[in-house]
Amino acid sequence: MNPFQSIYDEIGEDKIRQLCAYFYQEVQANEALRKLYPKDLQPAENRLFLFLLQVFGGPQTYSELRGHPRLRMRHLEWKIDGKMRNHWLNAMLSAMDQLQLEPEVRELMMGYFIKVANHMINHE
């Protein structure tokens, strides 16, 4: 089991849903990020919610509906450089700040999101 899978037990489904909602509020407000998404953000928000539920130790609904996450492959159509990584990561960290998480949980989540954000860079 990866250490991130304990997060679901710590914060539950509702906080993961809130995190996704807060994140997409940040996306809406960030011009660089907003350009990457279609007009309707709801489908993307729902996919992120299902993905994070699974990654953080909850139901495996994401894989049941969409197969293996293959994050990097699914995002290859977008230019993700260090600057875009920072936009995404800052939006996620701002969303996390709104949840008022326990420090240990926040640190664990932050470690996960930094790792993923770095992995997604596909452009210099």
Evaluate whether 53 touches 8 at the Cβ level (below 8 Å): yes
Model confidence over 45-101: pLDDT tens digits? 999 999 999 999 999 998 888 877 677 666 667 789 999 999 999 999 999 999 989
* Domains delineated in the chain: 3-120 (1.10.490.10)
Q: How far is CA 94 from the centre of its chain?
A: 12
Residue listed under structure tokens 């990097």 = 72
Residue 60 one-letter amino acid: Q
- pLDDT averaged over the chain? 92
pLDDT of residue 1: 57
Evaluate whether 27 touches 51 at the Cβ level (below 8 Å): no
Evaluate whether 58 touches 16 at the Cβ level (below 8 Å): yes
pLDDT of residue 67: 75
Model confidence over 100-116: pLDDT tens digits? 899 999 999 999 999 99
The mean pLDDT value for 9-13 works out to: 96
pLDDT of residue 72: 60
Angstrom distances, CA of residue 88 to CA of 28, 51, 104, 116: 12, 16, 22, 11
Tell me how far apart the alpha carbons of residues 61 and 45 are, in angstroms, rounded to a whole number: 15
Q: What distance separates the 2 farthest-apart alpha carbons in the chain?
A: 37
pLDDT of 3 strictly over 70: yes
Q: Model's pTM, two decimal places? A: 0.91
